[in-house]
Amino acid sequence: MPRIAVPRLLSTVIVPGLIAFFSLSACAAAQAPDRRAAVNAPRARTQQSQRPSLVVFITIDQMRADYFDRFAGQLTGGLKRLREGGAFFKNGFHDHAITETAPGHAATMSGRFPVRTGIMMNSQGVNGVPDGQVIGGRASETASPARFRGTVLTDWMRNANPATKWLSVSRKDRGAILPLGKNKGDVYWYSGSGEFTSSSYYMDTLPSWVKAFNAQKIPHSYAGKFWSLLKASSLYAEPDSVGVEALTGGFDVAFPHPFPGEPARAAAILPNYPMMDELTLGFALRGVRELRLGADANRTDMLAVSLSTTDAVGHRFGPDSREIHDQILRLDQYLGLFLDSLNAMRGGGRLLVALTSDHGVAPYPTLKSTLYPNGAAKRVSLDLPWRAFLRRLDDLGIDTTAVDIDDGVVVVTKPGALGSSAATTDALFADLANDLRRVQGVLRVDQMRDLARADTVRDHIARRWLHMFAPTSNVRLIATLTPYSYWLPVTYASHGSPHDTDAQVPVLFWGAGVVPGQHEDNVRVVDMAPTLAAILGVRPTEALDGRVLTKVVR
């Protein structure tokens, strides 16, 4: 049975296209008398005050903070190195309510909450915009930061030094686009055809180096191969086959997981396998080399990398699965080789790395987890009270299309259609709120106007909703589910709630200008951009929601 080689055996013929990137570490080893000293050099050099020439902002999609502790005994690569040699906060949080990919990525390098970036949810992220035709995509396929408001760290860096360069890479379009705000330039993501692409917002045609990378057809080379366990099966405590995993289709439920035998299909389905992260990092390294990011000591450049496979595996198999265990171990190895390669290319003392996630995840609501306290989880539908509410509107002659509901958020889409009587309207929404509160699995229902008067220091649910929507918005009321509960249509492991299981993520800084340490403090993802700005000595060009984590800054 063919097997996918483990990351440290990338010299095999299975993935020849990636050898050129990760073999840079071997080149560095040949030039250095002590390879271990060369690899660990960045940690030692953090004692210096050298300004970095390259910032590497890594976002691991759906990376729970507890994965660092849970798999610590088996981590030997990049995750281990970054945690032990950097400033690590395990109590990092996205302090907004709809914990989805687009709002999370928009917060990472902006230092601002969704209510100010304008990116409230995936459906209002980067797609369906009037500009940004995807290169090689269908005529209706668009992707751009048109809805994003304000600036990001890269804007502040460019304001300080107009020569600053940047590159953003991800499997997902929103993962590549939103960290860079509205900056144009080298922004790329993976397409279903097995190639990295961009959109007309950034360029008219792909650069020659991107075309050359795509021409290798590395994703197609996985046809007929397997995702097998990285380590011996006895080292995985999780069961290999859990019946609920079959509900979402796609994969079979037990290792080894096969790739399709047809090359085009293998390339299309690659995002569901760990090797997608390896490919993304390889593409990023090619971009660093071609664009000469970090090569000039007189400027600081930006590399943003969003790694999406943890999200794909987590959705399919859940956070307590054997598959997520193996994914994290492989990601650890990929990141180790990636850091080795950057160290060889640019010198570790000139690197500044930040790492976080866009959101967490909760286990399947129908699977009682042995790791997470989801025993009281429910699958919740608001269909009955919502239909009753619409009937009341219809009886009063009110246009029922004037309101809408999406995952418990009730929005007035046509304010003028509700009539002139505020008392009648208030009574209607009060009745709806009472009906929603009686649904099992609903924790609370809040009128948006009441949230503005809440104690946002003690009431983190209210605070996170206020960081999502302004009290003056068209959002009228919000139903919040109990922890670990899901909306009924969802059959896979997911996220999106204001609870800590979805909001808690790692916050990590490593490299030049960073004071290493392990911290218990509660910090926020919006604190990362101002902290990086402080390390770099650049000034944000607008007011931020985040603050500088002073204990990190040397």
The pLDDT tens digits of the residues spanning 160-210 come to 999 999 999 999 999 999 999 999 999 999 999 999 999 999 999 999 999
Cα–Cα distance for residue pair 169/281, rounded to 1 Å: 8
Decide which of 3.30.930.10, 3.40.630.150, 3.40.630.30, 3.40.720.10 is the CATH code for 7-361+499-552. Answer: 3.40.720.10
Averaged pLDDT, 138-154: 96
% of the chain at pLDDT higher than 90: 82
| Tens digit of each residue's pLDDT (9 = 90 or more) over 293-325 | 999 999 999 999 999 999 999 999 999 999 999
**Tell me, what's the pLDDT at 195?**
98
Q: Taking the alpha carbons of 338, 340, 341, 342 in that order, is the dihedral positive or negative?
A: positive
Helices 528-536 and 153-160 pack at an angle, to 10 degrees, of: 20
**Tell me, what's the pLDDT at 50?**
72
Checking if the pLDDT of 5 tops 80, the result is: no
pLDDT band at 347 (very low <50, low <70, confident <90, very high): confident
**Tell me, what's the pLDDT at 246?**
59
pLDDT band at 348 (very low <50, low <70, confident <90, very high): confident
| Tens digit of each residue's pLDDT (9 = 90 or more) over 30-81 | 333 333 333 343 443 333 457 899 999 999 999 999 999 999 999 999 999 9
**Tell me, what's the pLDDT at 22?**
53
- Chain mean pLDDT for the chain: 90
CB 115 within 8 A of CB 452: no
Q: Which long-range contacts (CB under 8 A, 24 or more apart) does 146-149 make?
A: 146/201, 147/118, 147/119, 148/106, 148/117, 148/118, 148/119, 148/178, 148/181, 148/182, 149/116, 149/117, 149/118
Cα–Cα distance for residue pair 387/399, rounded to 1 Å: 14
Domains of the chain by residue range: 7-361+499-552, 382-438+442-481
pLDDT band at 533 (very low <50, low <70, confident <90, very high): very high
Model-level pTM?
A: 0.92
